[in-house]
Every structure is written in C-alpha cells, then in structure tokens.
Amino acid sequence: MRPASTPRLPVTARVFVQRFSSTPRGARLARHLALHRLDTWGVPYGSALSDTAALLVAELAANAVTHGRVPGRDIEVGLRLDAYTLRIDVSDSRGERRPEITAAPEGEHGRGLLLVEALADRWGVFDRVPVGKTVRAELDLPHGWPSATGRSERPLTPRAR
C-alpha cells in the first residue's frame, strides 16, 4: 500500500527574459524594464522589493557590461517570480572572468558585489552553455505573496536578516 502523499499545489511562475546591448545604456534600460515588468506583476514601484530588485539588476548589469563585455555580444537579463522567490539572472558572454568580492576599504570601485551580498538572500555564478556565465541573485518573498488576486496583502519587502 502506498503512503498517502501530500497534495501539491501548482506554483505559477512569471518569467521575463530580454537581451540588451553590452553598454551602460543597455544596463540602464535593463533596470528600467525589469522594474516595469515587476510592476505589471504586482510588485509596485517604490516598494522595498522593487527598490531592492532595482539595485540588484543595476549592479549585476553594470558588472556584466564593465567586466563581462565581449564586443558584438549582448547581455541577457532574466526575472523569475513565483510565490516564494524573485530570481534575477544577468548573463554575459565572458565565461573566463568570474566575479569576485575584492573591494578595498578606500576604493571607489569593486563594491557592487558587496552590495549584492548584502541585499540578496542568495547569489552565485553559473556557467552558461555554450559560452559565458550567469550571475544570479535571489530574494525570498514574504509570506502572503501573492494573494488570490495576484497582489500581495502586505507590503512587499525582502526577508528580514
């Protein structure tokens, strides 16, 4: 006799993937379009989750443009939102250069990944097939997201640390 299994509820995931030029303008556009997409998914502009996502997309896209640029190749930004997590993926074509947290205390550069480390619940780097890498940051969503209407009943904020 088979043990009774717990019924699984379907999880709806919203997905956005877009390529952008590997330029500072492309990185800015990635941030703007990511925020717009999140707003259409019920994560309002100016909410803590939207603001945190904006910083993460901006930092990861800027890093991809600055350190992962291959002339003639685009970067790709992906968002995935489900009931538990917002995942932000930024991919570039340069697989041999892995991001490192190396900010000097007095330095003007190199603080982007420190910010990602501080804001994201999880982050990491993954090889991309056939070439390149993806840097991923994830934010855990508060309990109660989403309601039956697709909007949260409570303000959307990243998990408290």
Domains observed in the chain: 19-140 (3.30.565.10)
What pLDDT is recorded for position 24?
A: 94
pTM of the predicted protein model: 0.78
Q: Give the tens place of pLDDT for each residue, 78-126.
A: 999 998 999 999 999 876 766 665 555 565 556 778 899 999 999 999 9
Residue 130: pLDDT band (50, 70, 90) is confident
Q: Distance between CA 44 and CA 36 in Å, rounded?
A: 9
Assign 153 a pLDDT band (cuts: 50, 70, 90): very low
DSSP the chain: -PPPPPPPPP---EEEEEEE-SSHHHHHHHHHHHHHHHHHTT--TTSHHHHHHHHHHHHHHHHHHHHS--TT--EEEEEEE-SSEEEEEEEES--S--------TT-SSS-HHHHHHHH-SEEEEEE-SSS-EEEEEEEEPPTT-S-TTSS-SS---PPP-
Tens of pLDDT, residues 17-58: 999 999 999 999 999 999 999 999 999 999 999 999 999 999
Confidence at 66, pLDDT banded by 50, 70, 90? confident
Give the pLDDT score at 109.
58
148: pLDDT strictly greater than 80: no
Q: Among candidates 13, 59, 17, which has minimal Cα distance to 34?
A: 17
CB atoms within 10 A of CB 31: 21
